Structure 1
Amino acid sequence: MRSLVWPLKKIPPTLSTNFRWLVISLVSFLLLWGTVSLLLNEPTLLPTPWEVFIGFFNLIKDGQLLTDIQASLQRVFIGFFIATCLAVPLGIILAYFYIPRQILLPIITILRPIPPIAWIPLAILWFGIGDSSSYFITALAAFFPIFINSFAGGKAVEHQHINAAKCLGARRFSLVTTIFLPSAMPQVWAGLRIGLGQSWMAVVTSELIAAQSGLGYMIQANRLNLETSYVLVGMVVIGILGALMNAALGYIEQYVIPWKPQYLHG
């Protein structure tokens, strides 16, 4: 008996508590879902969790689900990479240089409130239906939260740090790379997490309209065929993958920004 109990003592109390509440939350949600679906007794409107579970394995068996997951992830990661390469340097540069900030910031301020879905007609006209338009939409969705956080992080740099670096002979490029960027990284990383989430939501939206593959396209095709269980499979997979990507960035953060205080939540 002792050999079975002893390994459990190695689990941190906070992790164990969080896992317990996660199980309780999921079980409660599944029970509520199952009860409502049984009361409705209409699988086309709301299938039971078991029917969705069977649908998941059917899609896995024929390979279609994995193909659509791969297509969606590829579009998100490429668009997110493009947005990161553009938004982080631009945010830091505009935070430091006055003239570029005065020229570009009003344009970005006007473009930022336009939702990514409003750009889909133009994306189709410019790039056609396929991966290129999805790359554009996902990059656009991720760009603005990453830029805003990068710019805010650059503006929050302490002036005494800048003055101290200047006294030590640092030039402008060194100031940006060794002072602005490390100081702004906590907010930049927060922008990356938000941007990845926005990009993930945008790719599903774009695939509903401007793609021939991906999770969004799968949901749309099965909706037209009244295969509601497959629609819910797509929705559940989208939620799980989005949560996993956010958790992965949160895990990587402690290694990329070791100087940021890490707060434990009970």
Structure 2
Amino acid sequence: MFNLNSKNSARQNKILLWIAIVFPVLVILLWQFASTHGLVKASLVPAPLTIAKTFLSYIESGKLWKNLSVSFGRVACGYVIGAVCGVVAGFLMGLFKPVNAAFSGIVSVLRPIPTIALVPIVILLAGIGFSSKVAIIAFGSFWPVLLNTVHGIQSVDNKLLEVAYTYRIPTLKTIFKIIVPSSIPAILTGLRLGMSNAWMSVVAAEMIASSTGIGYLITLSRETANARVMYMCVLVIGVIGLFIDRGLTRLEHYYLAKTRGITDSK
């Protein structure tokens, strides 16, 4: 087993990096071999090169960017609404026990419901326009932000609160000088997870009721039995989600390093 605390940790990290690079490449090569040599049906599982050619054709025609830009716009609106509501509700539940007691039961019931299960209800109430998709995205991004905000506030060191109480520091000053800074790391984690949920939620919304967006392309390709486009869209969604998560993780580490002197170990 690798010992990352040993003197050979740099060498071991390089080996792990190579494993992380080589293994996906091997998977792609095996996939290409299986598809081109008839081990799997190419009409159902297209070869990676076929998917790559489809990707390039959609880039050149502008179809991919046109639909992605629509999805990005919906995600931006829904995420802002869900994140703001999650932070506000999380602070209220974390700071005030009566509020927590009143809403904890509702949260426990609604949180496990998959976002896609609410799509028909939202469409019934708000139609199939822009607002319904924003509502679905806001719902999906709301929960991680809410739960992490509550956790961050409830995890504040009690000794700091006791000091504030002993020195009779005003409540508002205690909140903004002690509670908020202490809960920032948890809130940032919630915001990052909320963005991931928002990206997944827009795909679910567009797959059911939309004429534009990346989710719509998946539905259209399924209905027309166009596996090449379907696989291409799924991979694009995954890659974009990866970049979003890595980007927000880097911003989170950068913020903590600047404000608290925490170095980024990644």
TM over 0.5: yes
Mapped to 2, the partners of 1:161 and 1:142 lie a distance apart of 31
Q: Which amino acid aligns with 2:233?
A: G
Mapped to 1, the partners of 2:92 and 2:15 lie a distance apart of 43
1:95 and 1:152 in contact (8 A); partners too: yes
Query: In 2 relative to 1, CA 84–18 (structure 1 residues): closer, same or farther, beyond 3 Å?
Result: farther
Structure 1 position 18, deviation (Å): 6.1
Match of 1:28 among 26, 29, 36: 26
The aligned residue for residue 97 of structure 1 is 96
Q: Are 1:112 and 2:116 counterparts?
A: no
1:76 and 1:203 in contact (8 A); partners too: yes
The aligned residue for residue 194 of structure 1 is 193
Mapped to 2, the partners of 1:18 and 1:75 lie a distance apart of 38
2:256 and 2:262 in contact (8 A); partners too: no
1:193 and 1:249 in contact (8 A); partners too: yes
Deviates more, 1:116-125 or 1:240-249: 116-125
2:137 and 2:202 in contact (8 A); partners too: yes
Structure 2 length-normalised TM:
0.88
Structure 1 position 174, deviation (Å): 2.3
Q: Which amino acid aligns with 1:217?
A: Y
Mapped to 2, the partners of 1:246 and 1:126 lie a distance apart of 32
1:91 and 1:148 in contact (8 A); partners too: yes
Determine what percentage of the aligned residue pairs are the same residue. 28
The aligned residue for residue 4 of structure 1 is none
The aligned residue for residue 175 of structure 1 is 174
Q: Are 1:244 and 2:243 counterparts?
A: yes
The aligned residue for residue 76 of structure 1 is 75
Q: Which amino acid aligns with 2:212?
A: S
Structure 1 position 15, deviation (Å): 8.1
1:92 and 1:176 in contact (8 A); partners too: no
2:78 and 2:136 in contact (8 A); partners too: yes
Structure 2: give runs of 5+ residues left out of the alignment: 1-9
Root-mean-square deviation (CA, aligned residues, Å) is: 2.1
SS in 1 for 2:122: helix
Mapped to 2, the partners of 1:37 and 1:198 lie a distance apart of 32
1:93 and 1:176 in contact (8 A); partners too: no
Deviates more, 1:252-261 or 1:198-207: 252-261
After superposition, give the CA deviation of every residue in 1:100-138 in whole Å (9 maximum; x if it has no partner).
122122221221111111110111112211321111111
SS in 2 for 1:226: coil
